[in-house]
Amino acid sequence: MTDPDRAAVRRDITAALEAAFEQRHAVLDAIVEAEDRPAAVAAIAELLSVPAIGAEAVLGMAFDRLTVSARRANAAELEDLNSQLTFTQTDRPASTAETLRLRAFNESDADLFAARTADVGAAGDGSGTPAADITEEISSANSRMHNEEAVWLVAIEGDSKVGIVFGELSGGEVDVRIWIAPEHRKHGYGTAALRRCRSELAAYFPGVPMVVRAPSS
């Protein structure tokens, strides 16, 4: 992930905390009424109109972040991040994740996975081993997805397939990797896919920590 991408994600979190301060009573009610953690994250995200990564930060927020000095520091950080990212709308418009969508990987996406494999050279399961035949790779992925051990999502912008999000269950965590096709890089699609996929993967793997193992491109 590039420095601007990191700043954009950090802004999502900081902005969510700022919104939570302003609606702290409603946030507390949403948490108390939620059945479990995924439900609480979803409720906070809807209440504050923030991405899942921001809602998760609100839910995990320590009480000392509610003090006056902490709120001032958070507001100052948000102002600074906003000033750093004023270019985003024009230079990296996709990073806002407003138009990117994700759908489940299927057999028609073999060409996209083949392009990814030619670019990366490694197997799709995140093991780091050399890739096998594309048909074998996809068959193996389908088996893992059927067994609820993996989720592959295709990132789509308009009519174009711009990349793939890989979620592989390993050691009690979801190993998240994002690949963006070379011709679609440097537009913010990696950041957008990261934002979108957190809520999608949380629905597939409720309560399982997600770890981004490799930079998005």
Using one digit for the tens of pLDDT, what is the confidence trace for 63-109? Answer: 777 788 887 887 887 777 666 555 444 455 455 556 789 999 999 99
Distance CA 208, CA 83 (A): 34
Average pLDDT, the chain: 84
pTM summary value: 0.61
pLDDT of residue 199: 79
Burial class of 192 by CB neighbour count within 10 A (0 to 12, 13 to 18, 19+): buried
pLDDT at 14 > cutoff 80: yes
Backbone angles phi, psi at 100, to 5 degrees: -70, 140
